[in-house]
Amino acid sequence: MAFGRSSRSKRPVEPVTLKILVAGGFGVGKTTMVGAVSEIRPLRTEERLTEAGRPVDDTEGVEAKNTTTVAMDFGRITVREDLVLYLFGTPGQDRFWFLWDELAQGALGAVVLADTRRLPDCFAAVDYFERRSIPFAVAVNRFEGAEIFPADTVRAALDLDPEVPVLTCDARDRGSVRDVLVAVVEHALVRADRVREPAGL
C-alpha cells in the first residue's frame, strides 16, 4: 500500500518575529510608510496640530500637515512564511523623543526616512542609531517636486558609513516599502554575522 504525503504530518512553520523602527523628521512619511505595508489595520496615535503647539512644531516645508504622531505607529508585515516584521513608527518631533528609548528596546534595525528638501531633519535619527549601534538604512522618500540625488550624494550629506544602505522609495507603495524593510533586515543580519566572527578571521 502506497502512502501519500499526509497534510497532517506537515508541521506548521513557526515564524521568526523581528522588530523594525521607522524613524525620521516631522512630516517625512513615517505613518504613511507603516500604513502602506501593514497587513493589519495599523495602530496610529495621531493628534491634530494646534495653535498652542505652533511655537514648538516646525512645519516649514510641510505646511499642509495638520496631524502629528504623539506616541507611535504600529503595523505588521509577513515577509515570508517564516518571517514576520513588527513595525514601530517613532514620533518625529523633538518633544516626543523621550519615547524613542522605549520603542528601540529589542529592535533588530531601523529605517531612517528622509526628505531631500529637509535633509538635516534626519540627523537626529542617524545620530541616535549610530550611538546605540542599531543597524539602519536611509530611505529617501520621493516627494513630488523634490530633487532626486544619487545615493553617494545623500551618503556624503548625512556623513554615513559606507556600509549603511541608502535607498530611494515611495512610502505610499507597498512593494517599495517592502524592499526597504528587506534591505534593513539583510543589513542587520550581515552586521550580526560580522560581530560573531572570531577575531583574526
Q: Give the integer Cα–Cα distance in Å for 92 and 2.
A: 62
The pLDDT score that the predictor gives to residue 178 is: 97
Q: Write down the pTM of the prediction.
A: 0.79
What pLDDT does residue 50 have? 44
DSSP letter for 92, please.
-
Torsion of CA 130, 131, 135, 138, to 10 degrees: -30
Say what the pLDDT of residue 26 is: 85
- pLDDT per residue rounded down to tens, the chain (201 residues): 554 555 555 677 788 999 999 999 888 999 999 999 999 988 866 545 444 444 444 545 445 444 554 457 899 999 999 999 999 998 866 556 678 888 899 999 999 999 999 999 999 999 999 999 999 999 999 998 888 899 999 999 999 999 999 999 999 999 999 999 999 999 999 999 887 766 555
